[in-house]
Amino acid sequence: MKYFAKLGLNSKVQTVRLLADNDAPTEQAGIEYLNKLYNYPFWVQTFKDRSQRKNYAGKGMIYDEDRDAFISKQPYPSWVLNEDTCQWEAPVAKPDDQPLYASYWDENTTSWVQKLL
């Protein structure tokens, strides 16, 4: 099975479609098949195992052609994009989970806060 992300305005992922291997023996063949099926030309293959394109595509993510990667929306203004993984990272490492506590990010203090469950 092969997965293809439908790209909309500004390369934003609108949906992900699943194709049988015989309908998409190559990425280009899959794009052509989907173009004929939906009369829509903007598709990019995505990989659940993240072996290519850094991340598996999901609705609302952006396909960055220069990085050849799917990137999620920046969760907080202080977080920075890790260029190797194309994942957003907090400016401070998350503390190890403690029993009975949950950690959450506080953008106002740009720090992790641990809350008793």
Q: What is the pLDDT of residues 14-34, one digit of tens each?
A: 999 999 999 999 999 999 999
Q: Give me the pLDDT at residue 97, please.
A: 81
Q: Which two tokens stand for residue 53?
A: 């394109």
List of residues 6+ apart from 19 with CB closer than 8 A? 1, 2, 3, 4, 30, 33, 34
Please state, for a pLDDT cut of 70, what percent of the chain lies above it: 100
| Residues 36-61, mean pLDDT to the nearest whole number | 98
Q: What is the mean pLDDT of residues 91-116?
A: 93
Q: What predicted TM-score, i.e. pTM, was given to this entire model? A: 0.90
Quickly state the pLDDT bin for 99 (edges 50, 70, 90): confident
Q: Evaluate if residue 72 carries a pLDDT over 90.
A: yes
